[in-house]
A and B are shown apart, each in its own frame.
Chain A
Amino acid sequence: MAESTNTKVIGRAETAQRPEYAPSTQVGVTTYDPPVSWIKAHNPRAGVRERRWAQAHPEKLNSFKGMWVAILGDRLLTSATSVDDVYSFVRAQGHADALIMKVPQSQGKQPYLIA
């Protein structure tokens, strides 16, 4: 199975050089930025950095177990018991591409998911 030389790597710190895009240096994520016009319509990295931040900093979320939170970059924007309330804040502040997620009741290792 061959991997394309044009593969874009999402969420991993290391990757081979991709000549067509300028490399991004976001913490924890290395991707190669497409042209600006494409960014406006698409964002293949939306939520990726934020999910990594949440996983790496469980202590920041300890107070929000069972609640919905919005994260942008490495900032916790807001929390609420209702996802709609969290989104209302995100929309009012114009925080496009914030990650909205529910903080598990228990942090750390989660049960295996069988679905």
Chain B
Amino acid sequence: MPSLDFTHEHDYRAGPDDHSPEVQIRIFPKGIGSVPVAITAVLDSGASVSMFDKSLLGLFGIADIATGQKGEVRTANNEIADAFVHNLDIEFLGRQMTIPVMFSPVWPDGTPNLLGMKGFFEQLLIAFKHQERAALVAFI
């Protein structure tokens, strides 16, 4: 039987609905005197790409959402929305990484931040012990 070694374990029982693997990530706002801050995001292996709340654009120093590469996102109920990709620096469990994140101008403010497959899960080995509300992680 194959085995995997993990270097980190993140307990996510503080999440919003007891079944969402919500984690905390560190972000690095731009500008003089900036300090890193933490935000919450959900580990979403069902998402092809990461998608963040557009309210956070200013923190990333993005004045115009449309400066990113334009694309589309399709939700589980088959609704399609325009979105723009920006490459963002984040830190997850102490590992700094640059990941592509989409922002949709039509999604409402305050939507959950989703960490998806493209560029994020690609850098990880990850497993869930959901009975214990724990995500096991190793970085590739």
Which A residues fall within an 8 A CB radius of B?
Answer: 1-4, 6-12, 34, 38, 41-44, 46-48, 50-52, 54-55, 68, 70, 83-84, 87, 90-92, 94-102, 104, 109-115
Contacts and interface: CB of A to CB of B under 8 A. Distances in A.
Interface string B87-109: 00001011110000000000000
Contacts of A46: 24-26, 36-38, 91
A83 B51 CA distance: 17
Interface string B109-138: 010101000000000000100000010101
A111 B15 CA distance: 12
B42 A115 contact: yes
Given A46-B36, A91-B33, A113-B42, 18 more contacts: A3-B5, A4-B7, A7-B6, A7-B8, A8-B7, A8-B9, A10-B11, A11-B10, A11-B13, A12-B11, A44-B94, A47-B37, A48-B24, A51-B22, A87-B58, A94-B35, A99-B37, A112-B17
Contact of B40 (A44, A70, A94, A101): A101
Contacts of B3: 1-2
A98 B5 contact: no
Given A1-B4, A43-B94, A84-B59, A98 B38 contact: yes
A75 to B, nearest CB: 14
Contacts of A115: 42, 44, 46-47, 51, 75-76, 112, 114
Given A4-B5, A99-B38, A101-B40, A47 B14 contact: no
B16 A114 contact: no
Contacts of B75: 115
Nearest to A15: B9
